[in-house]
A and B are shown apart, each in its own frame.
Chain A
Amino acid sequence: MTGKRQPPTDDVLEVDDLWIEFRGGRKRAWGPRSVVRAVSGASLRLGRGRTLGLVGESGSGKTTIGRAVLRLNAPTRGSITAAGFRVDQFRGAPPARYRRAVQAVFQDPLGSLDPLMEVQQILAEPLRIHFDLESGKRRARVRELLEMVGLSTAHLSRYPYELSGGQRQRVAIAKALAVDPQLIVLDEPVSALDVSVQSQIINLLDGIQRDRGISYLFIAHDLAVVRHASHDVAVMYRGRIMESGPADRVCGTPRHPYTRLLFDAVPNPVPRSMRGPRRANQFDLPLPDIGVEPTPAGCPFITRCPLRGPECATGFPEPTPVPGGGELACFAAERVLQAAATPDLPRKDAT
């Protein structure tokens, strides 16, 4: 996402101290139901026309946040303001105006389209719901949408299962664009696609954002993809936001021990024999289990963290600003930031 865009300053999405809990099963036959905390105290901001990448491994709570923004689940505490609506305060189904402002594209493009509808019906559905168009105009609009995502009229009468993965995802994007939204939640939009098609979809999304100034909340587990697709990145682990900031800073110079572990694990496409000698890295192996289960109040990364101290078990740190932009939530922040001054840290930084 390059190009000289001056993003407006107003926020399309503001998440403030969000907590989301689900009721789980019982541990003992007559015991109380356990509470599964999917998101703990997450705060995010997303400006107009910008992309915020939300990365994390499975169980990090990234998808839960996306679904909360879409009001497909309800927050336990905290506030979500999206496109000027207080999403957390909705009672029952959100108003149609909200549905027009905030749209979604999901990971599995086959599952997210009604299997019994042709592409033209799928695209006409949001138009029918939100706009009182005569059928001719609606058809014209459907064609326009298809064109926007690089499909042609030949695809109008196909069923989802007759399309390739990439084409289905294009249909899903067209469906989201049908109501001219301000914000689209992209929940792993390219994870199910082949690598050669992933880039097509990311380029398409990028083009649409330039043309229409739509904001994206881009949820993904692939760090490299997120870096390409986002202006800002937030890294989540087990419901907590560990580190956030401008994409190039977070991905180029990750500071949080977890973020560094994560980036070091990404396979390097340069074969080993073509690389220089490998630096010894303290995050290579899972650390010995210290026998402490992470407490709900403490840092969830404690079991794997080489920098852990006694305070990590009892509380979760306030985010500290990081030079170069963004914040990091670590009690050992001081040490981490000092270590950053030494040359042992990641490789390239565009600045």
Chain B
Amino acid sequence: MSESASDVPRLPAADVAAKGSVRSSRFLGRLLRQRSLLIWGTVVGIIALSAVLAPLLSPFDPDTGVLADSFAPPSTEHWLGADRYGRDVLTRVLYGGQVALLAAVQAVAIALGIGVPAGLAIGYAGGWLDRILMRLVDGVMSVPFLVLAIAVIAALGPGLHNAMAVVGIVYAMSVLRLVRGEVLSAKEELYVDGLKVSGAGGPRILFRHILNNIAPPIIVQATLMFATAIVAEATLSYLGLGVTQPTASWGSMLSEAQATIRQNFFLAVPPGIAIFITVLGINQVGEGLRDLFSREITVGRLGLNVVRKTRPTASEREIFAGEPDQPSALEVRDLSVSFPQAGGQRVQVVQNVDLRLRRGELLCLVGESGSGKSVTAMSMLGLVSHPGVVTASSVRLGDEEISGLDFKAMRSIRGNRIGVVFQDPLASLNPTFTVGNQMCEAIMEHRDVPRREARRLTIDLFERVGIPNPELRLDDYPFQFSGGMAQRVMIAMALSCDPEVLVADEPTTALDVTVQKQILDLLVGLRDERGLSILLITHDLGVVAEVGDTVATMYAGQIVESGPVAEVFAQPRHPYTQGLLDSIPRNVAPAGALPSIRGTVPQPIDWPVGCRFADRCDFATDACRRSPVPLAPTVDPGHSTRCVRVDELRLTGIGDEQSQVVAVLSRASGRDGVA
């Protein structure tokens, strides 16, 4: 009955142990894959090491020179030449590195030493202490740090330690702010509530849990800070406020080089490059760490993920649900979507999907999370995120082939011939523009009408979808709408150019049940009065029963069954559909344990070769696991299934209301009812 009962205990112990050790070395593996992080880490390491070992590496004294060597060009003796006083430039660069690194260490140590504990304490305590201290922090941070450093140096006299202490304190403020912010948001995390309920005290939550979770951004910040501290030291020394003559520092060397820039420009190059490479290296290490801790974001080419055309592979059997002679509004053949995996290979999350949406029909695409139902719908519109690859042998809108269209051609279809409604209406509307603006924009994109006319059309549409006082609501922003009203706006927007097809991706999942009912009624009404063809994606078979004409069930990237709703619910031909029907919680008196499907939906990478449902199926045989199962028509017209044992199985379906009541009544006598 549970996930474990089916597969996990069969794992041999050695295998389990191996998995454990793989897990512990995973971080190392990711680290090794970050090549640029390793390279730049090495560069920074070499710089640090050569600065530390400067006395061993160079025979010269950094502060005294031989005047005869003044402005000596690079030579075998002075690899980078000598400066005005005949001092060896390479030696001074190495010693300057010592100064820079020490200064940066000092500043970062002060910053972390003050900022982290203070940030943790303030963030966790919150309240008035937080408000007052953050005002103070704002105050300190509002003064440019160089100006602040100068003010302090003016009072205390020049000196690198004073200067870097100021830098450290200014940095401490930004560390404090970062840590506090992270603690504040971590405090809102549910797991912190969980810990409180477990009885963990403040310090335990703070140090054992929150600190661990917020360490990555702090480490990244500290790294980047180290780089800016090096620049800060150079800047102060360049201005003559840092190290005092004749001590070598990259900043003071640049300052001296500037004085003689007309005679000898080269002197500026070694210290400048030294700063550049060191800071660049440390920054790259910081970036690398950031990537290591967070998942990479890739957007890729914006706007269209084109459907690539493949040659039809499946036979031209008629395997679509419903009346075969009805003209189709949207038809997809052999649609597959794949995404790249960490190992380099691609994994198909949607495989060879065939769908036909007929005119004036409401087709429900139903499945659990991860079944590929939303990706299927989005892929037809070219809205699958990169780097997904979409292929299909054909995508037809009415009589027109739309696979392989370019962005411009696709634009004339999106919003015009196909309207789309998404799951979360408040996130799907742009928060910074009024709904009227977004509506008119949609209308004017495809219709050559003046704005006044667009507004009038908008008001009509708002009225049709049941938004009260449309003239007034037009100039409201999305956040001023409730979820249900916002979804009505989305529907109005999708309908704004009178499309042939409406794709609704879980349009009611984010809504309350009473609001869901209203939205579903609206969709059905639109189908009936406009002959709109609707592709409704949902996970809720109750919704399918309420509104669907035909249904296609998806499991693990494949359509496993499709057919007219009444037929599929009365006589399903696939055990998965039956399992889903059984699992729907129904408002009847409980009788024994609730039926469920054992195990869990497998990850795409673990999808088996044979029937993908076999491991969870009560009827599975060896034949099911042997080879891929094709989607095949059943004896009923317009009803097809992907099941080897279709001819043997007699599945019970949903059962009608009458039999349910009878069943409940007969069971009721056997249980101690509360009433």
Q: Which residues of A contact B (CB under 8 A)?
A: 1-4, 57-58, 67, 70, 72, 93, 96, 99-100, 102-104, 106, 108, 111-116, 125-126, 129-130, 150-155, 157-159, 164-167, 170, 172, 175-176, 178-179, 194-200, 202-204, 206, 221-225, 227-228, 231-232, 246-249, 251-252, 261-276, 285-286, 289, 324-325, 347-351
B2 within 8 A of A: yes
- Which residues of chain B in 578-616 are interfacial with respect to chain A, using CB atoms and an 8 Å cutoff? 579-581, 583-598, 600-601
Assess whether A266 is in contact with B587, with CB atoms less than 8 Å apart.
yes
Assess whether A58 is in contact with B199, with CB atoms less than 8 Å apart.
no
For chain B, the count of residues having a C-beta within 8 Å of the partner chain is 88
B302 within 8 A of A: no
Assess whether A200 is in contact with B672, with CB atoms less than 8 Å apart.
no
Chain A residues, CB < 8 A from B618 = none
Q: Supply 17 A–B pairs (Cβ within 8 Å), ascending by A.
A: A99-B199, A102-B197, A112-B190, A114-B212, A125-B198, A154-B19, A165-B600, A197-B597, A198-B585, A221-B512, A265-B513, A267-B516, A267-B542, A269-B541, A269-B584, A275-B657, A325-B675
B540 within 8 A of A: yes
Assess whether A231 is in contact with B674, with CB atoms less than 8 Å apart.
yes
B480 within 8 A of A: no
Chain B residues, CB < 8 A from A202 = 594
Chain B 435-448 interface 0/1 with A at a Cβ cutoff of 8 Å (1 = within): 00000000000000
By beta carbon, the residue of chain B nearest A220 is B585
Chain B residues, CB < 8 A from A116 = 209, 212-213
Chain A residues, CB < 8 A from B579 = 196
Residue in B190, B199, B204, B543 whose Cβ sees the most chain A Cβ within 10 Å: B199
B661 within 8 A of A: yes
Minimum Cβ distance to chain A for residue B201 (Å): 7
Chain B residues, CB < 8 A from A115 = 191, 213
The one of B16, B545, B569, B591 in contact with A267, judged by C-beta atoms closer than 8 angstroms, is B545
The one of A114, A268, A270 in contact with B191, judged by C-beta atoms closer than 8 angstroms, is A114
Minimum Cβ distance to chain A for residue B375 (Å): 16
Assess whether A248 is in contact with B597, with CB atoms less than 8 Å apart.
no
Minimum Cβ distance to chain A for residue B574 (Å): 14
Assess whether A274 is in contact with B675, with CB atoms less than 8 Å apart.
no
Bound-state CA distance A350–B9 (Å) is 41
Decide: A196 near B580, CB < 8 A? Known: A150-B4, A246-B674. yes
Chain A residues, CB < 8 A from B1 = 150, 200, 203
Decide: A273 near B566, CB < 8 A? Known: A114-B191, A195-B539, A325-B675. yes
B303 within 8 A of A: no
Assess whether A112 is in contact with B193, with CB atoms less than 8 Å apart.
yes
Chain A residues, CB < 8 A from B189 = 111
Assess whether A198 is in contact with B583, with CB atoms less than 8 Å apart.
yes
The one of A222, A252, A269, A272 in contact with B654, judged by C-beta atoms closer than 8 angstroms, is A269
Chain A residues, CB < 8 A from B464 = none
Decide: A129 near B199, CB < 8 A? Known: A164-B3, A269-B542. yes
Assess whether B587 is in contact with A251, with CB atoms less than 8 Å apart.
yes
Assess whether B601 is in contact with A164, with CB atoms less than 8 Å apart.
yes
Minimum Cβ distance to chain B for residue A274 (Å): 5
Minimum Cβ distance to chain A for residue B567 (Å): 9
Chain B residues, CB < 8 A from A195 = 368, 539-541, 580, 583-585
B239 within 8 A of A: no
Chain A residues, CB < 8 A from B5 = 150
B33 within 8 A of A: no
Residue in B190, B369, B570, B585 whose Cβ sees the most chain A Cβ within 10 Å: B585
Assess whether A271 is in contact with B565, with CB atoms less than 8 Å apart.
yes
Bound-state CA distance A228–B277 (Å) is 67
Chain B residues, CB < 8 A from A206 = 593
B517 within 8 A of A: yes
Bound-state CA distance A224–B513 (Å) is 12
Assess whether B201 is in contact with A93, with CB atoms less than 8 Å apart.
yes
By beta carbon, the residue of chain A nearest B508 is A267
B132 within 8 A of A: no
Bound-state CA distance A1–B377 (Å) is 39
Minimum Cβ distance to chain B for residue A143 (Å): 12
Assess whether B596 is in contact with A197, with CB atoms less than 8 Å apart.
yes
Bound-state CA distance A268–B656 (Å) is 11
